[in-house]
């Protein structure tokens, strides 16, 4: 065990937060999965528990493997992965998969394995690394809008336009995170205004086209509009039903909760083990449990900012912020949806909700952050050795 801990590099507190979130996820997922097991054929809650355990073990392996890779290599990998991601997104959009009658064109099936993979989550991480690479490369140059259109905004546009028809919330969050990252990277505000205006125009044209030609392409425009209308007008819709059950779960939990595994709303709340697991956590563990989970994500945000601040290069700093901030932002959106502060989006709670793709891509991002942090530790160790070579040698002997 001591040898394993010696091989773990990077920010120890981030390792601790990730491990704690993963451990705390087991009981809520195991409890909320009873609804899925009841609807399934020949399934039981323990099978979902084992599945979640396997997802987390593979996620930990991803963190460990990625954090051993020097983060400078991600610059080149992002260039290679952008075309790969575009192809995967195009295949995913065109395949028109449905799962239990629902539009599932955001997933792609892996042949011979029998698994589904949500390509937009991989695209999210790759795109943020790519943007961090571009902004770090032009940090010392005069930024010109025309010069940035093809190398920066064209890949962003193509990725988002392939995600938008099936997953508006993810596309919107990605656009917001890209804008935030380029702003932190020093992109001029006047150019950002043009990009944001262009994004709003493209979204408007897409909605109008989808409404005029509903059968021309797979899209969920009516679903988005229904969720927004439900959020603003409280109409009797599926989204409104989900929110009502989530609020009942939260109200039932009160301060201390009803106890592990004793949730009643998990039997009525759709997606209780993924999109609305935060409501189940509060029902079973109370507001104290909910605030504790929120505190862990805010603590993770604090450590991400610290790692970014201590990064040895501009690319490292932007890389940490680019892949790290979306994790916390997604968590806050998931919590806001559960308490009806935000329309239903379908965003999971990172490292807690069930679902392999979400866990693995979150772990990929965490591994990248730890890779940057590990490099900083390596530099500090070299500085210590250079300052006290005789003392270090005597300790080794």
**41 pLDDT above the threshold of 80:** no
Q: Tell me whether residue 395 is in a domain.
A: no
Question: Mean pLDDT, to the nearest integer, of 93-105?
Answer: 55
Angle of the 45-67 helix axis to the 12-39 helix axis, nearest 10: 150
Question: Mean pLDDT, to the nearest integer, of 357-362?
Answer: 92
CA dihedral (260, 293, 290, 38) positive or negative: negative
Q: Tell me whether residue 394 is in a domain.
A: no
Q: Tell me whether residue 392 is in a domain.
A: no
Segments in the chain forming alpha helices (H): 2-7, 12-39, 45-67, 73-95, 119-137, 145-148, 154-163, 168-184, 189-212, 221-233, 238-253, 277-310, 314-338, 356-387, 389-396
**378 pLDDT above the threshold of 60:** yes
Of 51-65, 175-189, 306-320, 332-346, the least confident: 332-346
Q: Tell me whether residue 36 is in a domain.
A: yes
pLDDT tens profile 232-282: 665 555 567 788 888 888 898 888 988 888 888 888 887 778 888 999 999
pTM metric for this prediction:
0.89
259 or 300, which is more confident: 300
Q: Tell me whether residue 299 is in a domain.
A: yes
Instruction: Decide: helix, strand or coil at residue 70.
Output: coil
Question: Mean pLDDT, to the nearest integer, of 185-193?
Answer: 91
Q: Tell me whether residue 189 is in a domain.
A: yes
253 or 212, which is more confident: 253
Q: How confident is the model at residue 98 (pLDDT cuts 50, 70, 90)?
A: very low
- Any bridge partners for residue 109, and if so which? 116
pLDDT tens profile 120-146: 899 999 999 999 999 999 887 788 888
Q: How many domains does the structure of the chain reveal? A: 1
Instruction: Find out whether 59 and 360 touch, Cβ atoms under 8 Å.
Output: yes
Q: Which domain holds residue 369?
A: 2-383
Q: How confident is the model at residue 84 (pLDDT cuts 50, 70, 90)?
A: very high
| Average pLDDT of every residue of the chain | 84
- Residues 118/119/122/127 CA torsion (nearest 10 deg): -140
Q: Tell me whether residue 271 is in a domain.
A: yes
Neighbouring residues of 307: CB distance < 8 A, sequence distance ≥ 6: 11, 14, 320, 324, 369, 372, 373, 376
Q: What is the pLDDT of residue 253?
A: 85
Q: Tell me whether residue 397 is in a domain.
A: no
């Amino acid at each position: 065990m001591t040898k394993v801990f010696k091989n773990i590099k990077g920010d120890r507190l981030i390792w601790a937060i990730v491990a704690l979130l993963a451990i705390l996820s087991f009981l809520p997922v195991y409890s909320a999965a009873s609804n899925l097991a009841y609807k399934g054929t020949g399934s039981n809650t323990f099978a979902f528990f084992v599945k979640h355990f396997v997802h987390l073990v593979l996620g930990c392996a991803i963190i460990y493997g990625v954090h051993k890779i020097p983060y400078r290599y991600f610059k080149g990998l992002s260039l290679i992965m952008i075309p790969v991601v575009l192809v995967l997104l195009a295949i995913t959009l065109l395949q028109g998969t449905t799962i239990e009658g629902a539009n599932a064109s955001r997933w792609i099936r892996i042949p011979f394995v029998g698994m589904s993979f949500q390509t937009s989550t991989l695209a999210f991480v790759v795109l943020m690394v790519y943007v961090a690479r571009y902004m770090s490369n032009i940090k010392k140059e005069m930024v010109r809008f025309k010069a940035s259109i093809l190398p920066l905004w064209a890949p962003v546009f193509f990725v988002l336009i392939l995600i938008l028809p099936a997953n508006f919330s993810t596309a919107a969050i990605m656009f917001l995170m890209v804008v935030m990252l380029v702003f932190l990277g020093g992109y001029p505000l006047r150019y950002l205004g043009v990009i944001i205006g262009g994004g709003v125009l493209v979204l408007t044209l897409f909605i109008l086209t989808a409404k005029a030609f509903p059968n021309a392409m797979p899209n969920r425009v009516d679903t988005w509009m229904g969720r927004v209308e439900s959020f603003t007008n409280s109409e009797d819709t599926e989204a409104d039903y989900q929110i009502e059950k989530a609020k009942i779960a939260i109200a039932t939990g009160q301060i201390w909760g009803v106890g592990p595994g004793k949730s009643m709303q998990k039997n009525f709340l759709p997606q209780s083990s993924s999109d609305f697991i935060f409501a189940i956590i509060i029902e079973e563990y109370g507001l104290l449990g909910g605030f504790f989970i929120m505190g862990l994500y805010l603590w993770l945000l604090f450590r991400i900012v610290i790692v970014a601040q201590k990064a040895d290069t501009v690319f490292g700093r932007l890389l940490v912020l680019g892949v790290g901030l979306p994790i916390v932002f997604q968590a806050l959106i998931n919590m806001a949806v559960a308490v009806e502060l935000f329309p239903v989006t379908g965003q999971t709670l990172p490292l807690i909700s069930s679902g392999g793709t979400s866990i693995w891509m979150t772990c990929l991002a965490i591994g990248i952050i730890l890779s940057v942090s590990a490099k900083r530790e390596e530099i500090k160790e070299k500085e210590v050795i250079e300052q006290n070579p005789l003392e270090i040698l005597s300790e080794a002997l």
